[in-house]
Structure 1
């Protein structure tokens, strides 16, 4: 057969060089990754056989086999699973096209320590290439179940690889590592040593449902043929009693199914008995994956039926806003020949989803009191995702709100729950106040916050893009309306003694002429000009009318390709500010209308800038400011 040589892509060569000159502190993970890949191949073949998708495949003794040769310094990982076709080897192994290599390299450079770098191996799907940490050359021989031809892939990780079609090859995949020269001072990394191989398999792969076998080393008294030994227990952790499973075993299972090197933040066990039985073992990760918000993010937990693997990413078991949850669900009463279409209609699956969702939400809520540090980590990593459920899952909205926390003006360091916010509300305060923005600093410096700060009224500071949407969807909490401090006409007189109605009316009459004139003059840009009760320092601010979209939300919809008409906003003036008082006197004295017009335009543009917007006509704004400054120098 003809052997063809190909070049790796530039980023792939960079990745392989990193593996060869490894920066990883724990090289043992290469065997974990290869055994995990072999286990996945066996799962896929078993499922294909159950569905009659691989009628000619041999499934009589599915297993993983390890073979070490001290003299040749090779280590072989062999499985008789689904295998790969020539095209699949080219697509999945040859070019590293689907491994997220660029993102992997970027995050690797940003990793602050060796442990953080270790975790990136599995997370970005480049586990196969970790073999080059310990090998000078890697050979892969594979044949897809049911096909007659095989494929050999070989590379030294130096920029090229070869591909060859084979007339004969065993079903499955065989990966042979030609190990780097032995270091006599580093016995802990002798990967031809039986005890070392046993130790790695026990630590990382004991829970794998397929037997991992190895022929033991020959001893001086061993005269006969040696029988392969199974190195792993193959016990499904979710089916074992809780007191028989250590946290370390749970963590290793999570690392296997979550492709993560780090321990999970929390482990959740659930068992349902009765008319419909199932077991669930779920994990809350400690870190968000890099593609959590990407459109193609692969979400869902693994589905088993009577301990038979059925589906890698069963999206029907948890809602989208819990897509970060990893784990296993083992149902007793589903059919083995199940499809996504069947799952979408199955009432048992819907029952499982409701139960798992409530369990995850209650666990997150409990973390806030039982393990505040864990909760803080969870909320930092996944809070923005969880809040998506406030929009999409009305059935569990109260439970989601109970699990949420928000930054607040009450405490710069500790977030608050809505329950605690309501408990602290001042006498006469009827609404829960909030403001959305790009950052806490931007919100706190906004003119809209001035009166609330002056009166000591707590405001929630919401900085995630999803916050722009869920506050309108939820509307209220505990009978208290959720009220944006940047929308509508805010009346704070109920929260604290303020001006009398007579004083307000008199002030309104004094400014009526100016407000009417400015509303007419700025009519192309604003809906109305009115006096403000939310300003104490700034001369003006712009606000959205009640029920209208905020500028940030308008931009979000436009970014998604939706046409949104640009709504005019309201300009509010601070009647106690000297600039506004001077402008009102100038209007009453019928001074030069050109100068008044310029001042009105400047006032409006300054208000837009104060909330992070940009002038409608930047050049005109600069010219007006320059002229005004010139006259004051």
Structure 2
């Protein structure tokens, strides 16, 4: 006897996504079957792992497999597994809603996609998985029972924004998905999903390497005898896939297409990988690895709970997915399989963290991946450009967390610079172009290239022809503090510490002029340091400004405002340090301020108050010039409006 049937609505974003999928023209509808088989395979993996961990679990594991059934008359296709199954709450959470971020972005990009190929690429990036069934089905039914439990759940939807769900008393262990296919298109026999030959073709193409048997009952016809009797028809169960572990086969025996389909299976992706990495470790620690660098970044790449994407097998037995112990966090975009030989099947993440074999494998995998990236950089510049665009910001996280590979990471990294508007540069290329006598690698950090190019901090560097790296990823604010030098050349921020770009000869020529300026502005500098004491630690003359009146400088060992904000956003308490205000002694505003201050003995106190307001405005404009906001925007706006009113 069934319980009450509930009719529920999809989560708003999921409902809109379903509408887009159902009504979109999708070029490779065949892939929905791969998604269902992959989900079934995952369920079988999870059940076997759970029975290893929980000896009290009552579950039948004697014949774990996947069944496919097709029926031409009612036009149904069924995929059934006897794996881990789901509870009522898990069905609602995993299928009734989209429990991942990024759906709104996907909807917008799908609407803007101009053709079916673009839609396919976007769907692959976001991994809609189960939802792809609505591209071929008018109605989808799911029946599932969690291993070890007696109650089951039935879920039904037509992809119209609602679904029904009910508790069922009796159902086999695992999950059964039945698709009520859309009406037959007589002109499109290539997509007849009730044809046994079509199912056999798709399983061979997409899922031949699945470790579990994929079975289907197949009709066998024996021709009639010469006496005119009818053909003899029998039904037998056939296994459609070879179940060969692709990573265990020699590389020359595996086609590129097989690698690509295996990648799509384990990564739940729809696009081809950028490159394939096949490894075999022998000796003390034996293992086989098949890894892939994707061609597109997943939407959750920067979320806190994003997994590494590497699965751990032990002697071809699945042990766990997203095995963080096998891959550093900055390589979390890598997908693949590692099959270790000499480990116990009954392992936990805590055991793996202390395992010498896992540590050794992780070290070797990391070096191999970095060398593969270096090969792309030197031999396949277009592929490297794709890689860096998608994953460069993540890779640079390793500059902070992996000191053993820091030099390699620096060499495979690329950066924007003032040298070119379009092309990126490596640090090695930058060093080759350094001016005679230049001892430092100059860089600037900020939210965008355009904003950095307008920064006052670059004025003297531009005037003297010094190249500056333009670092615009948030991670750049952090890693530059962990990298003291490259090839013996220290890294120097254009916005930190003292900067003097004069040659020894020029410095000697300018020495007298600078001493005179220092004496000339000494009183103004002292007064400004006192007047702006709540904001800055010091006011001094600048050697880096040629056009702007002022800029703010972080002390050599200080924390930039952007970095302080990042630390505070992560919950760390960072004291706000005062910066240094540098003045351009040749700018008319600065010289006018000096002259007004020099005449302070001859002006009333009200004028001195106006002079202090000018100092506040000067400080505020220095903040604005670098993209910062004055501490009291309302006060700054009031001062500026009052000053403008006097000039009208």
TM score, norm. by length of structure 2: 0.92
Task: State the shift of 1:503 in Å.
Answer: 2.6
Please give the residue correspondences for 1:154-193 in structure 2 after superposition, counting only pairs within 5 Å.
154-193=156-195
Deviations 1:198-225 (A, max 9, x none): 2211221112111212222343626253
Aligned length: 633
**Counterpart for residue 338 of structure 2:** 329
Runs (5+) with no aligned partner, structure 2: 224-230
**Counterpart for residue 493 of structure 1:** 502
User: Which of 571, 579, 585 is the equivalent residue of 1:569?
Assistant: 579
- In structure 2, distance between residues paired with 1:102 and 1:79: 32
Judge conservation of contact 1:100–1:125 (CA < 8 Å) in 2. no
- In structure 2, distance between residues paired with 1:586 and 1:85: 78
Please give the residue correspondences for 1:351-430 in structure 2 after superposition, counting only pairs within 5 Å.
351-430=360-439
**Which stretch of structure 1 is more off in the superposition, 86-95 or 502-511?**
86-95
- In structure 2, distance between residues paired with 1:416 and 1:122: 31
**Counterpart for residue 232 of structure 2:** 223
Cα RMSD after superposing both structures: 2.2
- In structure 1, distance between residues paired with 2:282 and 2:588: 73
Judge conservation of contact 1:33–1:122 (CA < 8 Å) in 2. no
- Identify if the C-alpha distance between structure 1 residues 570 and 184 changes in structure 2 by more than 3 Å, giving closer, same or farther: same
- Identify if the C-alpha distance between structure 1 residues 480 and 615 changes in structure 2 by more than 3 Å, giving closer, same or farther: same
Task: State the shift of 1:123 in Å.
Answer: 4.9
**Which stretch of structure 1 is more off in the superposition, 133-142 or 331-340?**
133-142
- Identify if the C-alpha distance between structure 1 residues 457 and 328 changes in structure 2 by more than 3 Å, giving closer, same or farther: same
Please give the residue correspondences for 1:478-517 in structure 2 after superposition, counting only pairs within 5 Å.
478-494=487-503, 497-498=506-507, 499-517=509-527
Task: State the shift of 1:329 in Å.
Answer: 0.3
Judge conservation of contact 1:12–1:101 (CA < 8 Å) in 2. yes
Deviations 1:540-571 (A, max 9, x none): 11111111111111221222233322222111
**Counterpart for residue 302 of structure 2:** 293
**Counterpart for residue 197 of structure 2:** 195
Deviations 1:467-511 (A, max 9, x none): 111111112222221111111111112388344323322221222
Matched, 1:24 2:26: yes
- In structure 2, distance between residues paired with 1:598 and 1:55: 76
- Identify if the C-alpha distance between structure 1 residues 625 and 153 changes in structure 2 by more than 3 Å, giving closer, same or farther: closer
- In structure 2, distance between residues paired with 1:460 and 1:409: 7
Deviations 1:519-556 (A, max 9, x none): 22222222111111001111111111111111111221
- Identify if the C-alpha distance between structure 1 residues 380 and 123 changes in structure 2 by more than 3 Å, giving closer, same or farther: closer
- In structure 1, distance between residues paired with 2:433 and 2:9: 62
Judge conservation of contact 1:207–1:236 (CA < 8 Å) in 2. yes
Judge conservation of contact 2:286–2:341 (CA < 8 Å) in 1. yes
Task: State the shift of 1:399 in Å.
Answer: 1.4
Partner of 1:361: helix, strand, or coil? helix
Judge conservation of contact 2:124–2:271 (CA < 8 Å) in 1. no
- Identify if the C-alpha distance between structure 1 residues 576 and 164 changes in structure 2 by more than 3 Å, giving closer, same or farther: closer
**Counterpart for residue 33 of structure 1:** 35
Task: State the shift of 1:429 in Å.
Answer: 1.2
Judge conservation of contact 1:78–1:175 (CA < 8 Å) in 2. yes
- In structure 2, distance between residues paired with 1:426 and 1:514: 36
Please give the residue correspondences for 1:298-317 in structure 2 after superposition, counting only pairs within 5 Å.
298-317=307-326
Judge conservation of contact 1:152–1:165 (CA < 8 Å) in 2. yes
- In structure 1, distance between residues paired with 2:242 and 2:345: 24
**Counterpart for residue 624 of structure 2:** 609
Task: State the shift of 1:310 in Å.
Answer: 0.8
Task: State the shift of 1:249 in Å.
Answer: 1.0
Please give the residue correspondences for 1:4-19 in structure 2 after superposition, counting only pairs within 5 Å.
4-9=5-10, 10-19=12-21
Deviations 1:105-125 (A, max 9, x none): 344334454223234556545
- In structure 2, distance between residues paired with 1:218 and 1:285: 42
- Identify if the C-alpha distance between structure 1 residues 423 and 40 changes in structure 2 by more than 3 Å, giving closer, same or farther: same
**Counterpart for residue 49 of structure 2:** 47
- In structure 2, distance between residues paired with 1:455 and 1:146: 74
Task: State the shift of 1:54 in Å.
Answer: 6.3
User: Which of 234, 243, 248 is the equivalent residue of 2:252?
Assistant: 243
Runs (5+) with no aligned partner, structure 1: none
- Identify if the C-alpha distance between structure 1 residues 12 and 536 changes in structure 2 by more than 3 Å, giving closer, same or farther: closer
Task: State the shift of 1:271 in Å.
Answer: 0.9
Deviations 1:570-596 (A, max 9, x none): 111111223322332333344533443
Judge conservation of contact 2:138–2:158 (CA < 8 Å) in 1. yes
- In structure 2, distance between residues paired with 1:196 and 1:257: 23
Task: State the shift of 1:291 in Å.
Answer: 1.4
**Counterpart for residue 463 of structure 1:** 472
**Which stretch of structure 1 is more off in the superposition, 556-565 or 294-303?**
556-565
- In structure 1, distance between residues paired with 2:57 and 2:623: 69
